[in-house]
């Protein structure tokens, strides 16, 4: 195995021969680059970039997880409220059925004139003409539930606590990213 070095400025080219094959490696003061242009993974610059990418990916994943979990909780609350509305609507329809049956509204000719309007309303209630409004309330329920969740969060946490939490989180992210960047600067200044 033979090896020759060619030096010039801040670059060094080494030619290595192994079993009839010649490999040349370009070494600069910053990184080691092979002749095909790839940077070695174990060098400080790509290593710190990979570590920064991994850290930022973990932070982004955690933020995304919390956001998705929050939306799923709001969705569950909205579904619960929709179920409550549907249950109330079913109870109202059952009451209408009881009144309709007890007042013998099925036989229209035998209904006294004073009850005809009420029988008509009970019949509409039984037909479920008002129950379509429940599905239209879904967006309204989303907005109300989201407002309730945000209000309960803001009421339970003080401005001081929120400031400390946000400052600490942002500081950790910024300091970690600066540390990865300064690692490269310290390595290259040697």
Query: Tens digit of pLDDT for each residue in 1-20?
Result: 444 444 444 444 455 555 55
Measured CA to CA, the distance from residue 166 to residue 171 in angstroms comes to 8
Helix, strand and coil in the chain, % to nearest 5:
70, 15, 15
Average pLDDT over residues 22-49: 58
Nearest CA-CA partner of 140 in 57, 59, 81: 81
Give the three-state DSSP class for 138. Answer: helix
If you search the block for the tokens 């549907």, which residue do you land on? 86
Cβ–Cβ < 8 Å for 43, 32: yes
Between 133 and 62, name the one with better pLDDT: 62
Measured CA to CA, the distance from residue 80 to residue 83 in angstroms comes to 5
| Overall pTM surpassing 0.85 (yes/no) | no
Cβ–Cβ < 8 Å for 55, 176: yes
């Amino acid at each position: 195995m033979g090896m020759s070095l060619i030096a010039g400025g801040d670059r060094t080219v080494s030619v290595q021969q192994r079993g009839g094959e010649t490999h040349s490696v370009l070494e600069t003061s910053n990184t080691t680059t092979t002749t095909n242009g790839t940077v070695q993974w174990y060098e400080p610059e790509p290593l710190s970039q990979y570590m920064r990418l991994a850290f930022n990916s973990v932070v982004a994943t955690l933020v995304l997880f919390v956001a998705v979990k929050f939306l799923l909780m709001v969705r569950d609350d909205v579904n619960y409220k929709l179920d409550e509305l549907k249950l109330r609507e079913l109870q109202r329809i059952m009451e209408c059925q009881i009144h309709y049956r007890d007042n013998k509204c099925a036989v229209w000719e035998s209904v006294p004139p004073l009850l005809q309007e009420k029988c008509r309303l009970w019949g509409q209630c039984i037909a479920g003409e008002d129950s379509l409004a429940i599905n239209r309330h879904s967006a309204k329920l989303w907005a109300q539930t989201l407002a309730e969740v945000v209000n309960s969060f803001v009421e339970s946490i003080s401005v001081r606590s929120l400031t400390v939490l946000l400052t600490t989180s942002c500081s950790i992210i910024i300091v970690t990213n600066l540390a990865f960047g300064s690692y490269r600067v310290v390595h290259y200044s040697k």
